[in-house]
Amino acid sequence: MIDLLLKGATLPDGRQGMDIACSGGRIAEVASGITGEAAQVVEAKGYLVSPPFIDAHFHMDATLSLGMPRLNNSGTLLEGIAVWGELKPLLTHEAVIERALRYCDLAVSQGLLAIRTHVDVCDDRLLCVEALLEVRKTVAPYIDLQIVAFPQDGFYRSPTARANLLRALDMGVDVVGGIPHGERTMADGAASLKELCEIAAARGLLVDIHCDESDDPWSRHVEALAYETQRLGLQGRVVGSHLTSMHSMDNYYASKLIGLIAESGMHATPNPLINITLQGRHDTYPKRRGMTRVPELRSAGVNVSFGHDCVMDPWYPLGQGDMLEAASMGLHVGLMTSPEAMRWAFDAVTVNPARALHLEGYGLEKGCNADFVLLQAKNPVEAIRLKANRLKVVRRGEVIAETPERVAALRLPGRPEAVNGADYAPAATSQKTRP
């Protein structure tokens, strides 16, 4: 018996007229012309079906706190950290949970069903850790939430961060985080990476480091992170997040560094929406873009994902949990407008972060979890262009969110009435040719 049968969809690889049959929460078959009785049938009408969006880098403890207790007036990373520091003593368990759940609701409506969030452990109460562990349990039926122990004020620079990080891991936090550029010296930053990677190796955990989120070309902790990754045999288990100093580095050094990153098997997670606004704030003109070297990392074989990082918090006043927006900004900032690179940007918010997060059962093949999103677009690039409507969001074979198909009815003077669907553009008309 089929629980849900999606009929007539286009797959991300371009195959058209495809059906997906779901049984017992898994994908039972992907083929054209699947027959058999189904409890629910969804007609895809040729639209694109994709595995769910994934956000490889987020801060759920701070989300939707914009203006609390005040706005970030300079727009810099450092003032954002200061504002967050002012809010931290005022946080309550209930308020953190309420904001996080509100964001998770938004995420589901956007087809965003897996999120790696960092949680600040530089608060001796570990209030945000307790809150997000509770949120992880609450949302488990519909969102895979991974939590990273993140010492926002510095693993060594904050006197209790080390003890708090270890306590957070003991409480069940999934991933080891760090912020080497926030330590007092380059030497302390490198030492923090050594110890954090050793903690992860000893506990069998993954690593995700805020690494060189700076415009300083001499902030070179990425090199140390790549070194520790290969030294400890953590290939494939470590993510370098942000990596913005690479934008400002000397080209020769960057060419060496990218080779070291590739050799170490590190993943990279730039956050284009955030870093295009946070970085370059000390520049006059030209202003640096503040995104790491995505095309070059790709070319070297590094697995790159785009993260959202923030939504309406001290660091970023916009956002709506739409990973297509992150993909769009990423390809713009990276000057990646070839058809191949734009298509790749869709992978950077779907299959690439699935690898970085070590998600199991992700994909649209037989046997995978029956999780997918039906988008009002004909292909991945059109989905990015339109920030396409999420017509259906399916989790374990059940529709958990839906949005009506968006159609514009045009009544223009001197023109025939028209109805336009996916791209909201005037219907194609034949080109008039001159006699």
Binding residues for Fe ion, per CB under 5 A? 309
Of 79, 213, 228, 325, which one is the catalytic site residue?
213
Closest CA to 402 of 413, 393, 411: 393
- Per the structure block, which two tokens stand in for 190? 């490198």
Determine contact, residues 280/38, Cβ cutoff 8 Å: no
Tell me how far, at minimum, the Cβ of 57 lies from Fe ion, in Å: 6
Residue nearest to Fe ion (CB): 309
**Shorter beta-carbon distance to Fe ion: residue 139 or 211:** 211
Distance between CA 214 and CA 364 in Å, rounded?
Answer: 38
* Cα separations in angstroms, 307 against 27, 99, 118, 294: 27, 19, 12, 13
**Shorter beta-carbon distance to Fe ion: residue 248 or 275:** 275
Tell me how far, at minimum, the Cβ of 359 lies from Fe ion, in Å: 20
**Shorter beta-carbon distance to Fe ion: residue 22 or 179:** 179
Closest CA to 292 of 242, 356, 342: 242
Tell me how far, at minimum, the Cβ of 109 lies from Fe ion, in Å: 23
Other beta carbons within 10 angstroms of residue 109's beta carbon come to: 17
213 is catalytic: yes
Return the bridge partners of 269, or none: 241
- Per the structure block, which two tokens stand in for 201? 């190796």
Tell me how far, at minimum, the Cβ of 94 lies from Fe ion, in Å: 24
**Shorter beta-carbon distance to Fe ion: residue 57 or 220:** 57
301: helix, coil or strand?
Answer: coil
Tell me how far, at minimum, the Cβ of 72 lies from Fe ion, in Å: 14
- Per the structure block, which two tokens stand in for 291? 């995104």
* Cα separations in angstroms, 274 against 95, 200, 230, 354: 24, 27, 29, 21
**Shorter beta-carbon distance to Fe ion: residue 309 or 347:** 309
First to last CA, the chain: 61
- Burial label, 296 (beta-carbon count in 10 A; 0-12, 13-18, 19+): middle
User: Mind telling me the catalytic residues?
Assistant: 213
